Structure 1
Amino acid sequence: MELLDDYILQTSDKSLILKENTAPYASNREFKDGMFRLLFSEKRAALELLNALEGTERKDEGKIEIDTLRGVLYRRRQNDLAFRYDFSPLSVVEHMSTWSENMPVREAAYVFRVYEKIVSDRELYKEARCPLPIPRLYVLYNGTKDKPLETVQHLFGGVRPDPEGNGAMMEAAVKVINVNLHKGHPILKRSPTLKQYAQFIERVRSHIKLDRMNRDEAILMSIESCVKEGILEDFLRKHGSEVINMLTGITLEELYEIREEEAEERGAKKAAEEKDRKFVTKLLRENWAIDRIQELTEVSKERILEIKAAIGA
Structure 2
Amino acid sequence: MTDYNYQKDIPANRTYKSRIFEMIFSNKKDLLSLYNATNGTHYDDPELLEVNTLENAIYLSMHNDISFVIDSRLTLYEHQSTYSPNLPLRYLMYISDLYSNMTKDENLYGTRKILLPAPKFVIFYNGIDEQPDMQELRLSDMFEIVDNIPSLDLRAVMLNINPGHNPHLLDNCKTLRDYSEYTARVRRYAESSPLSEAVEQAITECIKEGILAEFLSKNRAEAKKVSIYEYDEEKVMRMLQEDARETGRQEGETQKLKEQISKKLAKGNTPEEISEMLEEPVEHIRELIAELSQKASI
Q: TM-score, normalised by structure 1?
A: 0.64
Letter in 2 for 1:187: L
Q: Which moved more, 1:186-195 or 1:153-162?
A: 153-162
Structure 2 residue 212 is the aligned partner of structure 1 residue 232: yes
Letter in 1 for 2:119: P
List structure 1 runs of 4+ shifted beyond 6 angstroms. Answer: none
Structure 2 residue 129 is the aligned partner of structure 1 residue 145: yes
Of 198, 201, 207, the residue aligned with 1:221 is: 201
For 1:122, what is the secondary structure of its paired residue? Answer: coil
Q: Relative to structure 1, is the Cα distance of residues 198 and 136 closer, same or farther in structure 2, using a 3 angstrom cutoff?
A: same
CA distance in 2, matches of 1:75, 1:61: 30
Structure 2 counterpart of 1:4 = 14
Instruction: Report the CA distance between 1:206 and its aligned residue.
Output: 2.1
**Cα pair 2:57 2:94 within 8 Å, conserved:** no
Structure 1 counterpart of 2:175 = 193
Counterparts of 1:162-201 in structure 2, within 5 Å, are 168-201=150-183
Deviations 1:214-246 (A, max 9, x none): 221111110011001110011112222321332
Deviations 1:154-213 (A, max 9, x none): 101242437xx675311111101000012244211111100000010111122123xx11
Of 71, 90, 109, the residue aligned with 2:93 is: 109
Structure 1 counterpart of 2:138 = 154
Letter in 2 for 1:141: Y
**Cα pair 1:137 1:174 within 8 Å, conserved:** yes
**Cα pair 1:3 1:75 within 8 Å, conserved:** no
Instruction: Report the CA distance between 1:140 and its aligned residue.
Output: 0.6
**Cα pair 1:5 1:69 within 8 Å, conserved:** no
CA distance in 2, matches of 1:78, 1:106: 9
For 1:156, what is the secondary structure of its paired residue? Answer: helix
Q: Relative to structure 1, is the Cα distance of residues 66 and 225 closer, same or farther in structure 2, using a 3 angstrom cutoff?
A: same
Aligned residues: 220
Of 242, 260, 273, the residue aligned with 2:222 is: 242
CA distance in 2, matches of 1:4, 1:68: 12
**Cα pair 1:4 1:75 within 8 Å, conserved:** no
CA distance in 2, matches of 1:194, 1:186: 11
Q: Percent identity?
A: 29
Q: Which moved more, 1:67-76 or 1:45-54?
A: 67-76
Structure 2 residue 25 is the aligned partner of structure 1 residue 40: yes
Structure 1 counterpart of 2:188 = 206
Higher relative contact order (CA closer than 8 Å, sequence separation 6+): 1
Structure 2 residue 134 is the aligned partner of structure 1 residue 124: no
CA distance in 2, matches of 1:171, 1:185: 30
For 2:141, what is the secondary structure of its paired residue? Answer: coil
**Cα pair 1:208 1:214 within 8 Å, conserved:** yes
Of 61, 84, 104, the residue aligned with 1:100 is: 84
Letter in 2 for 1:222: A
Q: Which moved more, 1:65-74 or 1:36-45?
A: 65-74
CA distance in 2, matches of 1:218, 1:136: 36
Letter in 1 for 2:141: G
CA distance in 2, matches of 1:83, 1:66: 4
Of 31, 34, 38, the residue aligned with 1:53 is: 38
For 2:124, what is the secondary structure of its paired residue? Answer: strand
Letter in 2 for 1:180: N
Structure 2 counterpart of 1:269 = none
Stretches of structure 1 that go unaligned for 5 or more consecutive residues are 7-30, 251-313
**Cα pair 1:94 1:140 within 8 Å, conserved:** yes
Letter in 2 for 1:237: S
**Cα pair 2:53 2:66 within 8 Å, conserved:** no
Stretches of structure 2 that go unaligned for 5 or more consecutive residues are 1-10, 231-298
For 1:69, what is the secondary structure of its paired residue? Answer: coil
**Cα pair 1:148 1:178 within 8 Å, conserved:** yes
For 2:140, what is the secondary structure of its paired residue? Answer: coil
